[in-house]
């Protein structure tokens, strides 16, 4: 039942501390909860079937009508609300949600669906790039996204905002080098995205089961990832640039894969 009768004025309130920890990415202190902020992400979370734990609203605004009556609602004093959220101009609404548990099986997709199309983020550190790639993965029909050790969390606040809600629906799982290499035994080709010297994307067969490995923004793919790759793919660029931004490169490759699969 909604509980918006009293205004919380203490920054030491247990729920407020939990929300603050969630925004900071402190899983243990947040009880494993994920924090979201703003009307759009709240709407996307509910539309995607996410389980909300608590909704927080500033005393200066009303409770969004889309919030189910079964969800706990806390109204916060304006200064308390602003002390917790991360944006410069908060919209006055935030929430704690239970993150979905995804598996590699979900990333591979159901057997009845088309061949898996997976994006693997290998050591990406820019949350904006990761969020963009999760959004592009959903837009271009990928079956899932894999993040490897050293990659920023898809639940990072900047990654969440960059995904514009796609992270709620797109399966995103963490995997080790060995687990990624194990995809080959399941019929998935591992394709390493490189700046040059790879096969031009237009000439690569993306219609078959495959996984696109996108490397770190500064160093690209580390040697261990290149060693397990079945092939290397590049995006021909007539302009005088060394390489593309990781988010742009991954999105273009996903588009090419989608284009080929739609044509088949």
Structural domains of the chain sorted by starting position, each given as residue range(s) with its CATH number in brackets:
7-98 (3.30.1330.30), 104-263 (3.40.1280.10)
Q: How many helices (H) and strands (E) does the chain have?
A: 10, 12
- The pTM assigned to this predicted structure is 0.91
66 or 244, greater pLDDT: 66
Question: Residue 6's pLDDT band (boundaries 50, 70, 90)?
Answer: confident
Does residue 112 surpass a pLDDT of 70? no
Q: Tell me the average pLDDT of the chain.
A: 91
Mean pLDDT of 33-60: 95
In this predicted structure, what is the pLDDT of residue 255?
A: 97
State how far the Cα of 199 lies from the Cα of 164, in Å rounded to an integer.
Answer: 32
Q: Is the pLDDT of residue 55 over 60?
A: yes
Determine the Cα–Cα distance for residues 227 and 232; give it in Å rounded to an integer: 11
Give SS3 for 139. Answer: helix
Q: State the CB neighbour count (10 A cutoff) for residue 193.
A: 27
Distance between CA 31 and CA 127 in Å, rounded?
22
Give me the pLDDT at residue 198, please.
86
- 187: its two tokens: 């019929």
Instruction: Give the separation between CA 13 and CA 80, rounded to whole angstroms.
Output: 10
């Amino acid at each position: 039942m909604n509980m918006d009768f009293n205004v919380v004025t203490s920054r030491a309130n247990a729920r407020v501390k939990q929300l603050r920890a969630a925004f900071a990415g402190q899983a243990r202190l947040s009880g494993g909860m994920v924090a979201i902020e703003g009307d759009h992400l709240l709407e996307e979370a509910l539309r995607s079937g996410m389980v909300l734990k608590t909704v927080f609203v500033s005393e200066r605004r009303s409770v969004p009508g889309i919030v189910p009556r079964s969800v706990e609602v806390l109204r916060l004093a304006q200064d308390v609300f602003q002390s917790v959220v991360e944006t410069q101009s908060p919209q006055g609404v935030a929430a704690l949600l239970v993150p979905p548990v995804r598996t590699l099986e979900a990333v591979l997709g159901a057997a009845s669906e088309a061949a898996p199309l997976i994006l693997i983020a290998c050591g990406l550190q820019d949350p904006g790039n990761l969020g963009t790639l999760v959004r592009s993965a959903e837009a271009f029909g990928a079956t899932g996204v894999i993040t490897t050790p050293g990659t920023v969390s898809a639940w990072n606040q900047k990654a969440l905002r960059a995904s514009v809600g796609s992270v709620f629906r797109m399966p995103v799982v963490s995997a080790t080098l060995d687990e990624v290499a194990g995809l080959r035994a399941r019929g998935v080709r591992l394709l390493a995205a490189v700046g040059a010297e790879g096969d031009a994307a237009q000439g690569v067969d993306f219609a078959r089961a495959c996984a696109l490995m996108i490397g770190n923004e500064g160093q690209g793919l580390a040697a261990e990832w290149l060693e397990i790759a079945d092939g290397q793919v590049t995006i021909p660029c007539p302009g005088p640039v060394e390489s593309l931004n990781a988010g742009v490169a991954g999105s273009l490759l996903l588009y090419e894969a989608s284009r080929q699969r739609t044509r088949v």
